[in-house]
Amino acid sequence: MMMMLQETPTQKNSLFNAMNRFIGAVNNMDQTVMLPSMLRDVPLEEDREMSSMKSDEDEGDMYSYYQLLKSIRCDIEWGVRCAAADERLKEESMIISRKNSSASTSSFASSEEEEEEEDEDLQKQVQFHLTGLQGVLSKLTLQANSLTKRYKQEIGI
């Protein structure tokens, strides 16, 4: 279990803290929901935060969303291991190796400029993905808290 640390205003937007908040919310949800089966057939639509996760074709219930939140927590804590991810990594490494082999045939000056552009591009990519991930984790944290609150209402706490 991850320890919740006091965060400073400058750390509030860190990915690590966003993950900690989400994992803490899911752990709280998991400890509160003693009978997950009570969430079956409880629609998501009654709750504003939860209904935003529902797609048009997917009716879903609180139980399936409870399972989804726990699964995402597991992915964050232990990593995502699936065939599709492994295949994508292989493809990306092949593309990178092709870029590297073609870059080695170009002149040294242009290679140096390309590296600087790639470094800049990598930083922009990281910033873009971190921002997106933090936004998603914030929404998921709200939804885990909302599910916990809703469960308490269902059992009369």
Which of 53-57, 85-89, 93-97 is predicted most confidently?
Answer: 93-97
Give the pTM.
Answer: 0.64
Helical (H) or strand (E) element with 34 = none
Say what the pLDDT of residue 121 is: 86
How many other CB atoms are there within 10 angstroms of residue 66's CB atom? 22
What are 110's strand-pairing partners?
none
Distances from the Cα of 3 to the Cα of 23, 77, 116, angstroms: 10, 13, 38
81 — pLDDT class (breaks 50, 70, 90)? confident
Domain ranges of the chain: 14-44+58-78, 126-156
Looking at residue 78, what is its pLDDT?
A: 87
* For range 74-93, the mean pLDDT: 72
pLDDT(66) > 90: yes
Weakest mean pLDDT among 7-11, 52-56, 139-143: 52-56
- Residue 57's pLDDT band (boundaries 50, 70, 90)? very low
Q: Give the residue from 78, 79, 76 showing the smallest Cα distance to 18.
A: 76
* pLDDT, averaged across the chain: 78
Contacts of 62 (CB under 8 A, 6+ apart): 39, 40, 42, 43, 44, 50, 147, 150, 151
pLDDT above 70: residue 102: no
